[in-house]
Amino acid sequence: MLTCDQYHMPQTLKEALVLWNNAPDGSRLVAGATDILPWAREGRAGDVHLPAMIDVTKVAELNGYKVADGRVRLGANVVFQQFLEDDTLREHLPCMPYCSVWFADDQIRQQATLAGNIVNASPAADGTPPVLAMNGEIELARLEGESVAVRTLAVQDFVQGPGRTALQPGEIITAVTCDSMAGYGGSFEKVGQRRSLVISAVCATALVMTDPAGQRLEDIRLAIGGIGPVPLRLADIEDKLRSKTISRELITEVSMQPPALVASRTRREYRRWVVRGFVQAAIEDALADAGHPIAPALPKEAEHV
């Protein structure tokens, strides 16, 4: 059971920062709150009493998104369901609808934020690999005297390990920014114990841009999660594929490499098997999403005989 002495709902960033700076030790900042409530239960943290909870979902500066100069700035209050339903976001972040549809369920996606998913820094976070692949940055605000100061960190520098980030005391995430990937095909692969409401054992994302004929890869982005302490960008594989003619053989070949990266402390062998198929599936699904599917090598059923 989660209880607290004070539950604040600030309306402006300044107000939120002042509350957060003055909050007693042990206070928590929340957005969707979809993680903290299940955390404060038997078997995890048990009954938790907090001095204060500061809820940022009514902070106007954190709402909405903006697309400008080839970048998308997602306010920290943007929830996962928006990636499924908002046409502009679907156009500019083509891997995010696939990521979102595998994330929790329709109800939780109405509350859970991308920024919250990243700041939790779970090795299995679904939201982090896509942001990594899209050259994501985290925007952090803090008070400097009376004014609000902002710094920006690349997401790979922000997420440092399981539950560990570069967030400093008094800082609040205000936005996640990433490249606009309009024109790319996107994909997201995930395996867990069931379909909805499951934490990834492994997840992977791909974004591909082909030439108009779909013969050549102009650009590719790949990232993977659930295989070690932090999600990884697969830059060396991207390099092996960029500007190359698309073929199943090439994709199969490069997909053999990532299993070596698996550093998880549990189920390592299983994850190695999954990763190989995932990288291949992520690339192929992204090509299909771009409108240039690779013809299947074998009829599907035949493979299972």
CA separation for the pair 280, 206 (Å, rounded)? 10
Stretch that binds other proteins, among 28-36, 59-67, 212-220, 260-268 (CB under 8 A): 28-36
CA separation for the pair 256, 273 (Å, rounded)? 10
Ranges within 57-76 binding other proteins (CB under 8 A): 57
Q: Kindly state whether residue 41 participates in binding other proteins, applying the rule CB under 8 A.
A: yes
Q: Which of 89, 91, 95, 100 is nearest to 285 (CA)?
A: 95
Residue nearer to other proteins on the CB measure, 6 or 21: 6
Instruction: Report yes or no: 130 and 111 within 8 Å, Cβ to Cβ.
Output: no
Residue nearer to other proteins on the CB measure, 34 or 174: 34
Beta carbon of residue 218, minimum distance to other proteins (angstroms, whole number): 20
The one-letter code for the residue type at 264 is S
Q: Which of 113, 105, 119, 3 is nearest to 59 (CA)?
A: 113
> At 186, is the secondary structure helix, strand, or coil?
strand
Stretch that binds other proteins, among 43-51, 61-69, 139-147, 256-264 (CB under 8 A): 43-51
Q: Out of 105, 144, 211, 239, which residue is the one contacting other proteins (CB under 8 A)?
A: 105
Q: Which of 19, 83, 11 is nearest to 54 (CA)?
A: 19
Ranges within 272-301 binding other proteins (CB under 8 A): 281, 284-285, 287-289, 291, 293-294, 296, 300-301
Q: Kindly state whether residue 108 participates in binding other proteins, applying the rule CB under 8 A.
A: yes
In this structure, how many other beta carbons lie within 10 angstroms of the beta carbon of residue 115? 27
Q: Out of 25, 43, 212, 245, which residue is the one contacting other proteins (CB under 8 A)?
A: 43
DSSP state of 156: H
Q: Kindly state whether residue 139 participates in binding other proteins, applying the rule CB under 8 A.
A: no
Q: How many residues bind other proteins (CB under 8 A)?
A: 54
Residue nearer to other proteins on the CB measure, 107 or 215: 107
Beta carbon of residue 128, minimum distance to other proteins (angstroms, whole number): 19
Q: Kindly state whether residue 197 participates in binding other proteins, applying the rule CB under 8 A.
A: yes
Stretch that binds other proteins, among 105-113, 166-174, 235-243, 263-271 (CB under 8 A): 105-113
Q: Which of 201, 180, 178 is nearest to 189 (CA)?
A: 201
Residue nearer to other proteins on the CB measure, 7 or 273: 7
List, as one string, the DSSP characters of 204-257.
EEEEEEE-TTS-BEEEEEEEEESSSSS-EE-HHHHHHHTTPBP-HHHHHHHHTS
- 69 CB-near residues (< 8 Å, 6+ apart): none
CA separation for the pair 181, 219 (Å, rounded)? 10
What would the two tokens of residue 214 be?
């779909």
Q: Out of 27, 34, 77, 117, which residue is the one contacting other proteins (CB under 8 A)?
A: 34
Q: What residues line the site for other proteins (CB under 8 A)?
A: 1-7, 9, 30, 32-34, 37-38, 41-43, 47, 50, 53, 55, 57, 81, 84, 97-98, 101-102, 104-108, 110-111, 187, 195-197, 281, 284-285, 287-289, 291, 293-294, 296, 300-302, 304-305
